[in-house]
Amino acid sequence: MRQDLDQVFSALADPTRRAILTMLLEDDMAVTDVAEPFEMSLAAISKHLTVLMQAGLISQEKRGRVKWCKLEPDALKDASVWMQGFGQFEPVNLDAFERFLAAELPEQPDATATATATTATTGDDRP
């Protein structure tokens, strides 16, 4: 599973490949139609499609003379399950954390008062 996740996340790391997946959410598309909105060669798009296929995110099939791309949404299942593990944590309430720290830590002198005292004793007017 680790290598599969690595391939999926590596494939998803590129914005062009994410855009291709978004396009394929609508319907299957011919490779030439996938390439149309991008300002890159068909060969470059083919390389992106190969990465997506190796990660299992898309499949390709030939229909007549045309090669079609199809989204394989089940390939994202393991990645989704892995990421959901991080959703179990509650967001940190910073106000409550600050009140906790104020109650637990001894009173800290005011930074301005400390800087003034340092200047008075050393004669140095740097903060």
8-25 pLDDT per residue, tens = 999 999 999 999 999 999
CA–CA gap between residue 38 and residue 32 (Å, rounded): 11
- Write out pLDDT tens, residues 69-99: 999 988 888 888 888 877 766 666 777 777 8
Q: Which tokens sit at 63? A: 């229909």
Give yes or no for a contact between 8 and 57, defined as CB atoms under 8 angstroms apart: yes
Domains present along the chain, CATH in parentheses:
2-117 (1.10.10.10)
- Going 64 to 29 to 54 to 1, the CA torsion angle's sign is negative
Q: Are strands 29-30 and 58-63 parallel, antiparallel or unpaired?
A: unpaired
Cβ atoms within 10 Å, residue 48: 20
pLDDT of residue 67: 95
